[in-house]
Amino acid sequence: MKQTWIALLAISILLAACASPATPAPTAAPPVETTAKPASVIASAEIFPAQTAEVAFVIPGPVKEILIQEGEIVTAGQRLASVDSPALLGALNAAEAALRAAEFDYAYWIPPRLKRPPERKQLALDTLTQAQKALLVAQAEYAQVSLAAPFDATVAEVRVNAGEYVQPGQSVFLLADLSQFVIETTDLSERDIPRVKVGQTATVYIEALDAQFPATVTAIAPLADKVGGDVVYKVTLTFEGQPDGLLWGMTAEVTITTE
């Protein structure tokens, strides 16, 4: 019995010696180092007028006259050109003649000293009212033969000649307000656009002037463009003060402060 107990004790000691050592507690992984993002975004840009317009007729016809030339400064409402439209001119002349006839007829029926049928007076008045309305419509339609400047601007380009037949919506003139320019980026990547916000300050280097100018981000295009397979967004910036010697189409480099 004593030998059996000694044997069991020996087996227990042997099993304890062969047991696996305790598993050490796991250690925390070191933090992954991230590269700090730069405090600015750099992009190529181009200079554009703050306001431009392509002016077109809304009716077809041959160009009757061009009253301005490239480089000329025009004011809002100034007449620029006209097309020939015999049909609209004929309608206007007919409406004017109908109004004169209605006025004459109405004058015949209204003298209070004469006993005229009241229903005939009312008919003459109704005819006169309709003729007046018809003339207003004819005048509005005939006004379409002329083009007027939508705002004070410089005539950047004349795209037709007198005698040339134009279609509705065909661009006839390119107008631009050259008193104020803006900067538009051309290659600002989709990787950088999340860091750009309206109101951020920027520095604009204009190569042609070899000078830098302060500016502010005023607009970010909601829709991307593709340039050479790259996805880019147009960002518009406004100068704090208009630089002297600035011209439409000059290239620039924009550095936008993002912090």
- What's the CA gap between 30 and 6, in Å, rounded? 52
Nearest partner of 242 among 40, 47, 62, judged by Cα: 47
DSSP 204: E
- Compute the average pLDDT of residues 166-181: 96
pLDDT category at 183 given cuts 50, 70, 90 is: very high
Is the pLDDT at 28 greater than 80, yes or no? Answer: no
**CATH code of the domain occupying 40-50+180-257:** 2.40.30.170
- Range 151-169 average pLDDT: 96
AA letter at 11: I
Express each pLDDT in 213-256 by its tens digit: 999 999 999 999 998 888 999 999 999 989 999 999 999 999 99
Q: What is the pLDDT of residue 113?
A: 66
pLDDT per residue over 4-27, tens digit each? 444 444 444 444 444 444 445 555
Q: Are 150 and 75 in contact (CB under 8 A)?
A: no
Residues 256, 43 contacting (CB under 8 angstroms): yes
Q: Is 123 exposed, middle or buried (0-12, 13-18, 19+ CB in 10 A)?
A: middle
Question: What's the CA gap between 208 and 246, in Å, rounded?
Answer: 9
| pLDDT at position 80 over 70 | yes
Per-residue DSSP letter, 145: G
Domain ranges of the chain: 40-50+180-257, 81-147
43: amino acid identity, one letter: A
